[in-house]
Copies of this chain bind each other. A is one copy, B any other.
Amino acid sequence: MFDPALSLAVDEDEVALASPFLKCLVRLIRAQDSYGAWEGKADRELLAAFIITKEQRRGIPIIGDPDPDVLWRLDMFYTAIGLAIEERCGLMASPIMELSREGFGRVLFTTGRLVALSKTLRDVHRFGFETLRKLAGAGTKLVSDAIAAIETYPEVARA
């Protein structure tokens, strides 16, 4: 039976998986697979941990230290942002993150003397995206913002 809604969702995922940001994130995750345990897994499976539905979000307690798995995902996501920035403009973007135990914080990317990107983190306990498309979109937007800043102040980014 043909379900057009399902087919649309699948297409959306395919498009998202082909985005440079998600390719970068997948490459980064695979680079950590020292024992080849994930070799048989599809990209979509590797990224499944980043997908959290609205219902699942509501179920995650925001009391206590954020889960180590969440911190790992946060780290992967922002490291991938840095890599994707470098891929697009050739300049290294180093991340620095400050996170309180309450799940609030700030992440900065610096390129030379320039703050290429500065983002406030909220609700870290529940870090995740509803769909692969939203994950790809959020990453791509952050990378584009950073590239725009670097293009505005190229000499500072190279200082």
A134 at the interface (CB under 8 A from B): no
Bound-state Cα–Cα, A16 to B96, Å: 33
A98, A106, A156: residue with the most chain B Cβ atoms closer than 10 Å: A156
- Evaluate contact between B118 and A115: CB separation under 8 angstroms: no
Q: Nearest Cβ distance between residue A108 and chain B, in whole angstroms? A: 6
Q: Nearest Cβ distance between residue A68 and chain B, in whole angstroms? A: 15
- Evaluate contact between B108 and A96: CB separation under 8 angstroms: yes
Bound-state Cα–Cα, A12 to B106, Å: 40
Interface residues of A in 129-159 (CB under 8 A from B): 149, 153, 156, 159
A96, A106, A118: residue with the most chain B Cβ atoms closer than 10 Å: A96
A114 at the interface (CB under 8 A from B): yes
Q: Mark A95-121, 1 if CB is under 8 A from B, else 0.
A: 011100000001010101111001000
Bound-state Cα–Cα, A156 to B159, Å: 12
Q: Nearest Cβ distance between residue A117 and chain B, in whole angstroms? A: 10
What are 12 A-B pairs with beta-carbon distances under 8 A?
A96-B96, A96-B98, A96-B106, A97-B98, A112-B115, A113-B114, A113-B153, A113-B156, A114-B115, A115-B115, A153-B156, A153-B159
